[in-house]
Amino acid sequence: MQELRKERLDRGVKVRCDSIYAVSSLKEVMFLVGPGLALVLILLVLPLVVSPYWQRVLSITGIYVLLSIGFGFLANYVGLVCLGGALFVGVGGYLSGIMNSVGVPMILSIPIAAFAGAVICTVLLLPCLPLRGVYFAIVSFVYPLLAARLIAATGIFGGTDGIAGLDVLTNRWFNIYLIFFVLLVAIFFMSRLVNYEDLGLVFRGVKDNEQAIIASGINITWYKAQAVFIAAFLGCFGGAYLTHLYGWVGMSLFAIDFSILPVAATVVGGSGILYGPLLGTFLLVPLSEMMRDYGTLRIVFYAVILVFFVVFWTEGIMEYLRRKYEQFEHWVRV
Amino acid sequence: MNDNIILQVKNLSKAFGGVTAVNDVSFDLARGEIMGVIGPNGSGKTTLSNLITGFIKKDAGSVVFNGKDISRWPAYKIADAGLARTFQVMRPYATLAAYKNLVPPLFSPRARRTARGKLGDRSAVAIDILEEVGFERDARVPYKLAGTLPLGYLKRLELCRCLALRPELIICDEVFSGLSMSEIASMVPLMERLRRDGITLIMVEHRLRELFRIADKVLVLNFGEKIAEGLSQDIFKVEKVKQAYFGGEDCYVSSE
């Protein structure tokens, strides 16, 4: 019997772009910038072809993408499993809401909330930065639950009713392109950071070889704090944006969906590269919206999809696509 | 205190539960010296280096480096002060070129300080350091993936990671172990050159023959206690050392 073996080889254009870095033809330029360009084009065109209802869904998706990128960045490049998505959204949302309710205009309250919120979240998580893996996850997961209980019990910040009557982002075109613009900037900035910048190498060292980084005289807690700040900044911006999308801020901003969905999106999309969480979010959030008619049954669909990916397709969609893009496969005789 | 003393360890102790890994160890180290630390397996050599460099908390005792008491400092601050160390088990960035492994240490505050603003492109500096150390048979080593390098080159890479900090003292944790004779033979001149460059070395070793050739003095540990300290050529005349290594029979260590 003839035995066959599947062989994967890098495409010629991939090898040329990898090794020489001299860009010698349009084909190679397109190979390098093509995927990024395609992403920009898709995000530009998508809002034009869908109904206003789905535009709103896409705006919400954008918030989840910011959280997923932050989660993927912390988990894959810094080694912190952070379930603090709800914390980031909640803190950012409430800060912006509170500021807006005392008269700060939206155009100031959103960026200030993103920045100040990131500082607050980083300080809150600072004591547990030496923790690793599941312990950090637990602490970051508990904070939003704590905040929600605190608000409900003491009645501060409007208590269970929240704060209503805030400024609303009314122009739906502006809304959607704003969040898409922010997520594009975020993802390009982050992939540059982790792939090319020296700081990105330090982050990866913190994840893979903490001792060598410490032995190099680098304070890893400081770098972990910087990484958490970056993720928290994205999440807090998402929260502030969400607040002004509805003109209302309440306890639902601390909902655990914001913490859990990024994990699911990273599983589905693939964890190796930052585009994985992005793709995963763009599949999962609209899917969950489509299944709204089935009520709580959608949780079951959701679970089935997750189990499928965890068990049968661990590399995730994005990793699969990247492989197809960069390599070709053929069968060879052994 | 004598200015020439770079490291002063006093009454260092550490117990893990009921096991005393390091018990009341003291020694002084002069600037520019090479000191060997030897002892049978489990005698506390690695624990001693972990204690000095702050990777393990001390139970008792003090460490004075360059006149500063660093006993309670965190590990990164000790490295920042110029006391570097290598690790026995190296985990380089396997998927990156070897020189990229030196970028994080060059990113450290100490590297920036010692370069006095002339650091420039870190990748270029990293390649310079690697080429200076030299990979005798293969000039392309700095550009190869770190995951594909043989153990001997990885040990050098680890040493380079320390050199990137421009340290004053390096604690080398078994840089010779697992290497072939020819690889060790090429490491010995490197160590001697580091000494000429003014770097003090503590070498934790099992390979006695090569160690004795370069070390000025040797510290012998057994069951966590210092049983002897002295010149390389004299150390095996000490009865306790013979006892620890050979069970008390007469021995002769080739001095070639």
b/e per residue, A220-229, with b = 16+ CB within 10 A? beebbbebbb
A217 contacts B107? CB cut-off 8 A: no
Looking at every residue in chain B, the average pLDDT score rounds to 82
A110-119, B72-81, B119-128, B144-153: range with highest mean pLDDT: A110-119
- Residue A233's pLDDT band, with cuts at 50, 70 and 90, is very high
Contact A190, A73 (CB under 8 A): yes
Mean pLDDT of B104-121: 76
Looking at residue A226, its amino acid is Q
Looking at residue A19, its amino acid is S
- Distance CA(A95)–CA(A97), nearest Å, equals 5
Of the listed ranges A91-95, A276-280, A297-301, B168-172, the one predicted with least confidence: A297-301
Contact B22, B11 (CB under 8 A): no
Q: CB of A219 within 8 Å of any CB in chain B?
A: yes
- Distance CA(A129)–CA(A136), nearest Å, equals 7
Looking at residue B194, its amino acid is L
Mean pLDDT of A88-109: 90
Contact B215, B203 (CB under 8 A): yes
- C-beta neighbour count of A92 within 10 angstroms: 33
Chain A closest CA to B113's CA: distance in Å? 12
CB pairs under 8 A between A and B: 75
Give Rg (Cα) of chain A.
21
Residue A96's pLDDT is 92
Q: CB of B160 within 8 Å of any CB in chain A?
A: no
Residue with tokens 């995730």: A316
Contact B9, B63 (CB under 8 A): yes
- Distance CA(B140)–CA(B134), nearest Å, equals 10
Contact B164, B111 (CB under 8 A): yes
Residue A226's pLDDT is 92
The yes-or-no verdict on residue B101 having pLDDT over 50 is yes
From B79, B96, B100, residue closest to A216, measured CB to CB: B79
From chain B, the residues in CB contact with A219 under 8 A are 74, 76-77
- C-beta neighbour count of A151 within 10 angstroms: 21
- Residue A229's pLDDT band, with cuts at 50, 70 and 90, is very high
Domain boundaries, chain A: 53-325
Mean pLDDT of A162-177: 84
First CA to last CA distance, chain B: 37
Looking at every residue in chain A, the average pLDDT score rounds to 86
- Distance CA(A100)–CA(A93), nearest Å, equals 10
Fold of A53-325: ABC transporter involved in vitamin B12 uptake, BtuC (1.10.3470)
Chain B closest CA to A209's CA: distance in Å? 6
Tens digit of pLDDT for each residue in A308-331?
Answer: 988 988 888 888 888 888 888 888
Residue to mutate among A129, A206, A218, with most B CBs inside 10 A, is: A218
ipTM of the complex: 0.83
The yes-or-no verdict on residue A29 having pLDDT over 50 is yes
- What phi-psi label fits residue A162: left (phi over 0), alpha (psi between -120 and 50 degrees) or beta? left
B76 contacts A218? CB cut-off 8 A: yes
Residue A237's pLDDT is 94
Chain A closest CA to B101's CA: distance in Å? 8
Tell me which residue of A158, A148, A173, A196 sits closest to A56, measured CA to CA.
A173
Residue B15's pLDDT is 87
B79 contacts A202? CB cut-off 8 A: no
A198 contacts B76? CB cut-off 8 A: no
Q: Would strands B225-231 and B217-222 be described as parallel, antiparallel, or unpaired?
A: antiparallel
- Distance CA(A87)–CA(A249), nearest Å, equals 14
Mean pLDDT of A81-106: 90
Q: CB of B27 within 8 Å of any CB in chain A?
A: no
Backbone angles phi, psi at B76, to 5 degrees: -65, -30
A3-17, A65-79, B33-47, B78-92: range with highest mean pLDDT: A65-79
B104 contacts A198? CB cut-off 8 A: yes
- C-beta neighbour count of B96 within 10 angstroms: 15
A219 contacts B87? CB cut-off 8 A: no
Q: CB of A329 within 8 Å of any CB in chain B?
A: no
